[in-house]
Structure 1
Amino acid sequence: MRRIPAELVKRYEAEGWWTRDTIGDLLTRGLAAAPGTEFRVHSASRPWCGTFADVERVARRLAAGLHERGVGPGDTVAFQLPNWMEAAAVFWASAVLGAAVVPIVHFYGRKEVGYILDAVRPQVFVTAERFGHLEFQPDLCADVPVVGVVGRDFDELLAEKPLLGTLPADPADPALIAFTSGTTRDPKGVVHSHQTLGHETRQLAASYPPDRGKQLTAAPVGHFIGMVNAFLIPVVDGTPVNLTDVWDPGKALALMSRYGLHIGGGAPYYITSLLEHPDFAPATHLPYLRYAGLGGSSVPAAVTKRLAGLGIHVFRAYGSTEHPSITSSRHDAPEAKRLFTDGEPLSGVDIRLDEDGEILSRGPDLCLGYTDPELTAATFDEEGWYRTGDIGVLDADGFLAITDRKADIIIRGGENISAPEVEEVLLGIPGVAEAAVVAAPDARLGEHAAAFLRMLPGHALPTLAELREHLERAGLARQKWPEEVHGVEEFPRTASGKVQKFRLRRDIAVRN
């Protein structure tokens, strides 16, 4: 893990941003304060309805069952589940055990899941027997001591009596290892402590508008922000949990009308797909779109102006899995700041721009580092600064606007796609000499992946269908598959021979 300067530790503790609470302590207090709060899963395959107390009992029976199997503080518990009740139970159980939880996005494929399990070597892995393209693959977790499969044998992990209280853990120790795509060829394991995750949870809970209504969470709980919004913030606030395991705008609109559920934001696609659906009725649905906190993807000004024109109160935020909340506009900030900037630094956060305009940040919710020590050393410096890979500008009032990206990633509907990871798989196609993957504009999702291939003499450019067949055989998650393919005789290059991807992106923009 990175070295956190002593003066920063002292400051974070003195300000109350870092406390002696573990995530288990935070959950235990919140659940005890609002046991009768609604917890509902809206799902065609695994619907569920109950209360916080009902879910907590499952979680504590699971915690007791895992503890009987030797799981406790310092261990790791991985899960790959959709937005189901059992995902909350696994996360809450891990927290009261003092174990680090490893959420895995439910649509990750064999390649990503195999890498993650090998990287963290968990004591426990809980997954689904089948959901969409997710299917239990026993060989992937053959070396994991405890495996539970929802829909098959998950209940066998539950002890008869629940575990009471929480097991003691050091709040500076890891509480979460979240994997995300970036500039590396494999997912990056981002390590958060009880302190960094606890501060992020309390900070977000305090910053949300008090009249935001009952929220529907559609973001995958395998993602950092989806998990925090689904399983932590509602417990701190004592507000209902409503999950959906598939994003279907028509069904979401129906849930809004039937249950009075609100959509509070996320990647812009979640909001725009509702507005563009034929079932959208302004008089019926706009009252449940009171606020739109946008982030996790590029946020075009055209979108923020459109939403504001409908009377939706828009505010933007900027962060990453490594540093979840760097900047945000307060919901009561001036409209121009909310619509056209990514906000100002949040509590305890410092930001600065280097000579190239790259954003460097540090703060009490910044992660401990990566599971890869070399990546940690390359990304964080001795003074505690994190190199975000994003380019930005600061206005006279200290509000930040993201203008470009140095990191070699595509952000499709809030999902990070590592260009090098996809390129490496594409190079396995017979006849491909070189591959470059870049972001292409997408009216619905913000961006999608576009592949440029240079073929060896005598080999034809593969069709998009052929390319996708290869990616499916390789086990790469479908969200990462390129959605267009182009052939080139030669790539534009720098003097040192590096492919000039900005020129490929410019070419894509002209074509589209």
Structure 2
Amino acid sequence: CRRLGRSAPRPAPTRWLYYTSGTTSEPKGVRHTDASLMAAGRAMAGRMELRADDREALVFPVTHIGGLVWLTAGLTSGCRHLVVPAFDPEASIDFLSREGVTVAGGGTIFCTHYLARQQREPDRRIFPSVRLFVSGGAGKPPVLHDELKAAFGGGGLLSSYGSTEAPIVTHGLVDDVDDKRRTTEGLPCPGVSMVTKGPAGEHLPRGQEGELCIKAPQMFQGYLDPTLDAAAFDDEGFFRTGDLAVIDGDGYVAITGRLKEIVIRKGENISTKEIEDLLHRHPRVADVAVIGLPDREAGERCCAVVTLVDPDRPLELAEMVEYLKALDLMVQKIPEQLEVVDELPRNITGKVLKQRLRERFAAAAAVE
């Protein structure tokens, strides 16, 4: 540009400011451009094969980055949005049913509400035209895909992965086989470069767990507080997601946990997601979150916080331990504490606010 007497191109202006969910640390202001969010919307629309005759559930508020990405996905495809001002498990599902929703999504928590409603009304299909469900914004139990497919027909669950800093960087394909749908978040979207790295920043081979690091057209411009930028990117310019993942031989990405959600018990790293996936299969467990709590001897102890399908049928610690042993979970990974609550605290995308649980039960232990 200088040789031709032209000025260097100006960076695109920040048009959107979103805040991270704050589930593992203080919320951070994230700066986006129109182009970065349109890239996410186009990726989503392409992977879901959205059509002009689709009627998709826009249940995220546009004040959350997921809502805006859903909106842009619809704008690029011409489909009809079924917009709710705020998701209500009864009124919103009634609305989506009346309007003949074909793409019912938003995230795991929305899918579980759809499933619960269908199970309460087995004599009719509440979404007779649905062709797929979409999950993102929070982890999913592997059984969810099969449950949705059995209850509603259609293609079942199609998952995506991203963050406020880089939304929709992976997404499943509509013709993916069941196993990929159950256990992965799909393939990297067009233009996305994705690797896993070890503790020293080394690139890891496929099939080996490491921190997921990405470059993408969906990438944010930086944080509102620029002092946070340096720690967010590595020396190669990859964004450090803080998520642990495995990229399989076909390129599909499975999220296995978060660096900050590992319980370090007696020097051994324990993945909370591994335990949660197993407890989700327990017939009396409706929902579960596994957290680490301070422990004088072990450093951290593993605590399972659950809600029950039927509060009148309690789950005892000893029963949970035997259940996990029967599933061949290593003994050192089995939670030594069980807490039963009426409801898990979640944000609007369905992510469990584990910090609230840690504060609650750490404080309770201190009182005892």
Say which of 26, 31, 36 aligns to 1:191: 31
Which string of whole-angstrom CA distances, capped at 9 and with x for unpartnered residues, describes residues 135-194 of structure 1? xxxxxxxxxxxxxxxxxxxxxxxxxxxxxxxxxx96722121111134775321111123
Q: CA 1:302 to 1:406, structure 2 compared with 1: closer, same or farther past 3 Å?
A: same
> Which aligned segments of 4 or more residues in structure 1 are displaced greater than 6 angstroms?
436-439
Which deviates more, 323-332 or 202-211? 202-211
The answer for unaligned runs of 5 or more in structure 2 is 1-8, 200-209, 263-271, 274-290, 294-300, 310-340, 346-352
Match of 1:122 in 2: none
SS in 2 for 1:402: strand
Partner letter of residue 372 of structure 1? D
AA of the residue aligned to 1:341: T
User: What is aligned with 2:104?
Assistant: 264
Letter in 2 for 1:339: R
TM-score (norm 1): 0.47
Aligned partner (choices 161, 176, 194) of residue 333 of structure 1: 176
CA deviation profile, 1:282-327 (whole Å, cap 9, x unmatched):
6332424320121211111111221233324122111111111222
> 1:317 touches 1:329 (CA, 8 Å); kept in 2?
yes
Distance verdict in 2 for CA 1:406–1:264, change over 3 Å: same
Corresponding residue of 1:427: none
User: SS at the partner of 2:255?
Assistant: strand
Q: 1:342 aligns with which of 158, 182, 185?
A: 185
Correspondence for 2:260 among 396, 407, 431: 407
What is the alpha-carbon distance in structure 2 between the residues aligned to residue 439 and residue 348 of structure 1? 39
Q: Does 1:485 align with 2:361?
A: yes
- Secondary structure of the corresponding residue to residue 249 of structure 1: coil
Q: Quote the Cα distance in structure 2 between the aligned partners of 1:388 and 1:441.
A: 27
Q: Return closer, same or farther for 1:305/1:287 CA change in 2, 3 Å cut-off.
A: same
Answering whether residue 126 of structure 2 is matched by residue 250 of structure 1, we say: no
* 2:223 corresponding residue in structure 1: 370
Change (3 A) 1:174 1:350: same
Give the distance between the partners of 2:123 and 2:196, measured in 1 at CA. 42
Quick check: 1:305 aligned with 2:146?
Answer: yes
TM-superposed deviation, 1:213: 2.5
**How many aligned residue pairs are there?**
273
Query: What secondary structure sits across from 1:172 in the alignment?
Result: coil
Aligned to 2:54: 213
Cα deviations by residue, 1:421-448 (Å, 9 ceiling, x for unpaired): xx9xxxxxxxxxxxx998845579xxxx
Secondary structure at 2:45 match in 1? helix
Select 2:17's aligned residue among 159, 177, 189.
177
SS state at 2:126 partner: helix
Contact preservation (8 Å) 1:171, 1:195: no
State the partner residue of 1:226.
67
Structure 1 residues 370 and 318: CA distance shift in structure 2, 3 A: same
CA distance in 2, matches of 1:281, 1:227: 34
Distance 1:328 1:210 in 2: 13
The separation in 2 between residues aligned to 1:383 and 1:368, in whole angstroms, is: 16
Secondary structure of 1:284's match? coil
Q: Secondary structure at the match of 2:219?
A: coil
Where 1:304 maps in the other structure, the secondary structure is: helix
In structure 2, distance between residues paired with 1:443 and 1:328: 31
Give yes or no for the alignment of 1:317 onto 2:154.
Answer: no
Residue 205 (structure 1) shift: 2.2
Q: Distance in 1 between matches of 2:246 and 2:229?
A: 25
Change beyond 3 A, Cα 1:176–1:382 = farther
Q: Distance in 1 between matches of 2:238 and 2:226?
A: 16
Q: Secondary structure at the match of 2:181?
A: helix
- What one-letter code is carried by the residue in structure 2 that aligns with 1:223? H
Structure 1 residue 490: Cα displacement: 10
**Post-superposition shift, 1:396?**
1.6
What residue is the counterpart of 1:12 in the other structure? none
Gaps of 5+ in 1: 1-168, 412-418, 424-435, 445-463, 469-477, 492-512
Return the offset for 1:258. Answer: 2.4
1:276 match: secondary structure? helix
State whether residues 318 and 325 of structure 1, in contact with CA within 8 Å, keep that contact through their aligned partners in structure 2. Answer: yes
Contact 1:182–1:408 (8 Å) recurs in 2: no
Compute the TM-score of the two structures, normalised by the length of structure 2: 0.64
Note closer, same or farther for the CA distance 1:388–1:441 as it changes in structure 2 (3 Å cut). Answer: farther
- Are 1:171 and 1:194, in contact at CA under 8 Å, matched by a contact in 2? no
Give the partner amino acid of 2:169. Answer: I
Task: Determine if contact 1:190/1:367 at 8 Å carries over to the other structure.
Answer: yes
Choose 1 or 2 for highest CA Rg.
1
Q: Deviation per CA, 1:314-347: give whole Å up to 9, x if none.
A: 2211111111122222111222212221112111
| In structure 1, distance between residues paired with 2:56 and 2:23 | 33
Identical aligned residues as a percent: 30
Structure having the larger proportion of residues in helix: 1
Q: Aligned pair in 2 of structure 1 residues 191, 292: CA closer, same or farther (>3 Å)?
A: same
CA contact (8 A) 1:183 1:408 kept: no
The residue type equivalent to 2:48 in the other structure is: Y
What letter corresponds to residue 485 of structure 1 in structure 2? F
Query: In the aligned structure 1, how far is the partner of 2:21 from the partner of 2:186?
Result: 24
**Deviation per residue, 1:375-398 (Å, 9 max, x gap):** 111011343201111111122212
1:398 aligns with 2:251: yes
Equivalence for 1:74: none
The equivalent of 1:22 in structure 2 is none
